[in-house]
Structure 1
Amino acid sequence: MDQKSKLRQIALVAMLTIGGVQAGCAQTAPAESGATATAGAVESQPAVPAPLPAVTPAAASTVAAASANDSATEGGNVAELQRMIHGPDLAELRTTYNGSYGASLLFYAKEMTYYVALFQQKTFWRVIKTTDETRAEAIYRDFARQTVQLSDVEIRRTRLEAQKAFTERLIALQQMRANRLEADLTVARQQQAAVASQQKETRQQASTLQNQKAAAQEQLRATQHQVRDLQRQLESGLPTR
């Protein structure tokens, strides 16, 4: 008889004990009531139930442990593995990750039991418990294939997010370059406008200077002509040699 069967037997004995005590109390109460109501009648002695085994503190603790084990069993394999995962007795044999999904093959040596788990982001999704090593390996391989299928969309989304972020960074870099080029072009246009204005002013100044030069040359020629006339007049009647 295994440990779980012993625990269930002890729990059954405890429940029978409690039930027998309650039944004895129920039989005693009607007997006393009948003896009071019937005057002069011979009082009948209530039947005394046979003594039942006493529940010792150790047995009570065992019953509580059995109840706790039953509750754990009712929690399912997921809850059971969740409680065991941080303990020292569970060995991780294999684990596969794909995206946020994963599959693990775990071994509980004390009971030669395998736990095969499918999980997402460290949260168990499905847990299969078996003592068959071949079946455990087959389920693990199936769960690992499922993680590949389940993570396809997630991985594709991750890649698309990365490509989108990369494209946005390229756009930002190109925009920065465009802004710099636009700033340079603005400076060039301003400089070009300034140079054009300066050249226009310079041309106007050159034209004015050209006119002034022509007038000065004309004045110079007239002055020279006047000087020659005066010189001739001054030397008129004098011998040339």
Structure 2
Amino acid sequence: MDQKSKVRHIALSACMLFGAVHGAYAQASGENGAVVAATAPIAVAAQTATAAASATSASQTFVLTPDEAKQSATGNVAELQQMIHGSDIAELRTTYNASYGASLLFNAKEMTYYVALFQQKNFWRVIKTQDDARAEQIYRDFARQTAQLADVEIRRTRLEAQKAYTDRLVALSQERANRLQADLNVAHEQQTIVNSMQQQTRADAASLAQQKAQAQEQLRAAQRQVRDLQRQLESGLPAH
């Protein structure tokens, strides 16, 4: 083989090798792109599921931990009742709903928070923690519970007020009706008296009219007698 043939053979081999390498690289790139394209929706779906789970967790009802749920039975209520009148406890927050309330208190010496749920100033649940964020979370939940617990009491208070208001209106109306009835009774009695007086007056008038007629008749008779006597006197003749 001459020199030119060797050069052409080497060049041809190099071209074939370059083509094979380029094809392999293109295939690998295509496969990697397919993998990326396939995994992208999975990653997005995973992120969406995580966000949804977080939102669901945030919207769920607040639940105490098992240790916190047991605390009320370990003397927290009695402990707080003993400390409440001292100077070691500071009241940070308090919410009232009707006779129910929630308080967040802080013992600075012990760096301890007390979250209390009470009714008419009587503690019935107290949670103790040194986690300020947890204390705020429990306080917000207790405050929400007081609003729910107070709904029936607030409704009863409103109904009692409405009933008392209605009863007062009924009493006022009855009092006015009684006054009107009394006035009506007086009017009836007065009307009866007036009617009786009118009847008596008419009877008296009729009697007086009759007496007047009789008196007039007597007057006419007397006048006739006077005239007769006058004529007899004037004629000088005795009356027969």
Please classify the TM superposition score into its range, dividing by the shorter chain length.
0.5 to 0.7
Structure 2 residue matching 1:158: 3-state secondary structure: helix
Q: For 1:74 and 1:175, how far apart are their aligned partners in 2?
A: 56
- Structure 2's unaligned 5+ residue stretches are 1-70
Q: For 1:73 and 1:204, how far apart are their aligned partners in 2?
A: 97
1:154 matched residue in structure 2: 153
Q: For 1:78 and 1:194, how far apart are their aligned partners in 2?
A: 79
Q: Which runs of 4+ in 1 moved over 6 A?
A: none
Aligned residues: CA RMSD: 2.3
Aligned residues: 167
1:79 matched residue in structure 2: 78
* Amino acid paired to 2:177: A
Q: Which one is further off, 152-161 or 95-104?
A: 152-161
Structure 2 residue matching 1:87: 3-state secondary structure: coil
1:103 matched residue in structure 2: 102
* Amino acid paired to 1:181: L
1:177 offset after TM fit, Å? Answer: 2.5
Please state if 1:228 is matched with 2:227. Answer: yes
2:142 matched residue in structure 1: 143
Shift of the 74–210 alpha-carbon distance from structure 1 to 2, 3 Å rule, reads: closer
Q: For 2:126 and 2:72, how far apart are their aligned partners in 1?
A: 13
- Structure 1's unaligned 5+ residue stretches are 1-71
Task: Confirm or deny: 8 A CA contact 1:73 1:80 kept in the other structure.
Answer: no
* Amino acid paired to 2:194: V
CA deviation vs aligned residue, 1:141-185 (integer Å, no higher than 9, x gap): 221122111111101111211221222222222222222332232
Q: Which one is further off, 203-212 or 158-167?
A: 158-167
Task: Confirm or deny: 8 A CA contact 1:90 1:106 kept in the other structure.
Answer: yes
CA deviation vs aligned residue, 1:66-90 (integer Å, no higher than 9, x gap): xxxxxx9973432332232222211
Name the % identity.
76
- If each structure's helix is expressed as a fraction of its own residues, which one has the higher value? 2
* Amino acid paired to 1:142: D
